[in-house]
Structure 1
Amino acid sequence: MVGESIEGLKKRELLRSLIDANYVGDLMRKNFETVDPEMALSDVVAKMKSSDLHEIPVVDGKKLLGVISYGTVIRKKNLVIGTKAKTMVESTPEVTLDTPITEVAEHFLSSGYRHLPVTKGKTIQGIVTRASVISVLPKLKDVKALKVGDIMSNEARAVHEKDLVKNAMMLMRDLEVRTVPVVDDYERLVGIIGIKDIVHYSWSGTSTLRQSRGDLAGENNPVELEVRSVMHEHPITLNADDKLTKAIDVMIENNISTIPVITGERMVGVITKYDVLEMMASVRNRDMVYTQISGLEEEDRFSLDTMEREVQSGLAKIAKITRPLLFTIHVSKYNNTGNSAKYSLIGRLSTENSQYMAKAVDWSLGQATVELMDNLDRIVKEKKEHNLDVRTRKRREKV
């Protein structure tokens, strides 16, 4: 086990050094779109659409004030006509020309953004994207051996083609994602719908500035349409055995972030730029395991300390078997009636040797976390026992 750990550490350090040998200045766009803080939000969204951006910097002269994102727009249930850009500005993680690429990958994970401003002091220098960061991987030898199935998300959620668009919006909000697959009555993949499709319809085209009682892009807009009327049909797909480098190339060439993974006509998972960035961030040098909990509603944040305590306890147990590098949990809440709600947790763990996924459901957020960590511990132990059995059989075959 020690030998495996040393070998895994060497590979991880080599991959980190190869990734961080790249320079932010070589990956960023030096020509980029910005908006003025006084610009109307409807004009901001139109500019984001024409430039195919998920986020756009808000600047005062050359000073960066922050960004406006589609995520912010869709989270606002009612936006008053005439809303100014300055009222929707969000701050961003600091990225400079000297920031290591593995750290930039981590910033993409923590912020959820697709584009991050690169600054010098408070002055914006350029824009770095998820695509530009993951573009450094296909040329690396260790990455060429990886398959889509090695890092894809198995617990892929989808919407039905006859669901209302508002259901897709709710799922995006709950999962904190911007694209979801679409299936039919037989669970066959028939399309894909993204946040841009919804926002574009709300704010432009035939529904330009849909005005209803002074509200804009609220819950009473195109969300009453069926998903199949807005979705993209015949989405690009991959198989679990396809090379990871192929997935990265397809994402970059087609400017997409999410690719359904199928067997026959059935979806078995998805691979996203987030998954690739998660792998990159996992090799970053750090003293502690990088952990992130997403999806918590404000009213549930009182449970955060309990969750973090259970997570650290669980990771300490796992560390006796394999070294944890990066751990993320996403919380979804449903059956929210009266004073009770059920919590669904999905955890993804990256270690120096492998990646693991576990899930848990409970009426108590704390108990769901305990169950999640127990499930993860069991999966890691089962993988260890499986590897030992494989090595034992190989030794016997040589005798």
Structure 2
Amino acid sequence: MEKKFVYADNAATTRISQSVLDAMMPYLTDQFGNPSGVYSIGRRARRAVETARQKAAQALGCEPSEICFTSGGTESDNWALAGTYRALAPEGKKRIISTVIEHPAVLNTLEYLKKQGADIVLLPVAENGRIDPEEVRKAITPDTALVSVMAANNETGVIQPVDEISRICEEHEVLFHTDAVQAVPHLRFDLAHSGISLLSLSGHKLHAPKGTGILYIKNGLSVSQILFGGSQESGLRPGTENTAAIAGLGKALEDLFPDHEDRNARISALRDKLADGLLKNEGVIMNGDRENMLPGHCSISVKGADGEKLLLMLDLKGICASAGSACTSGDAEPSHVLKAMGVKNDYINGSVRFTLDEYNTEEDVDYITETFAEILKKAL
């Protein structure tokens, strides 16, 4: 089989789109001013930042004043959790409720806050990878500061019942944060009419550059800053703005939704074809709830296989995939997400995640399925 290049790890990062690159270029070249500058080149940079803020707000269904630019999903998650805890702990609200399947950016922040005196509750998920909203209701106490549940899991693509959980939080007057890093490229959010208090997203998951993100903070919330310096981002997040990257993020968010449904339908069809092709191989199972899954995710496990070995063999054939979260690659421990879902031991180490987007083709899917079948004959 002729070797080609197929990128199927879009949950790890995406390529920058041409329209995003075009939006960025002026601020990487002639329009290099500092957005805090009072001279014309600085004012043009400031306009670019504020235009991007307006585009982000329109895409997310919120006010521009509720958009804070960050360096990415990790910073946004850290800020949402630590900032809320610092603001509310003095009032005696020290409980934070989350789940066992969160991204390390959330779980490791919670571990840090636990050492600071926080009462951390991590709720389980069912075998399909979804949390029961009633478990959230049961866990809420008068001293609960925050509930944080990811909108969709980065390893399996399983979509969580965020709307229902946010309504429960509203009923109990508890703040609700969602890590929507994986979800925003595919799911529509109308934050002005939701119970979501804080939302994190990352630019490089939606064809914007790495190193840029957003924390949505609903107007009126008291969230402490975790960085200190200048007065940027309304005094909440100091540091000279990365004008080019922010302009790119704004453009990427603007580009998301004009053909949102058609794009998702096309990606879902490719994913279904891929999943069906992979599941024809003996000993292969699909992880997660296929009925409640992001369109591009296809997480599988192979009985008795070594996932890292499979990835290396795929790479030799020009196929980029992953074993789970890109932020934990190289970790010898089995996936905490698959463990939480009860995936059997003889499958858990043989996990491979393929994630497709609008740049993938049917030819890509055919190449992956044919190549994977050949690899399994050698690897098992």
Give the TM-score normalised by the residue count of structure 1.
Answer: 0.28
Give the TM-score normalised by the residue count of structure 2.
Answer: 0.29
Greater RCO structure (CA 8 Å; 6+ sep): 2
Structure (1 or 2) with the larger CA radius of gyration: 1
The structure whose residues are more often strand, as a share, is 1
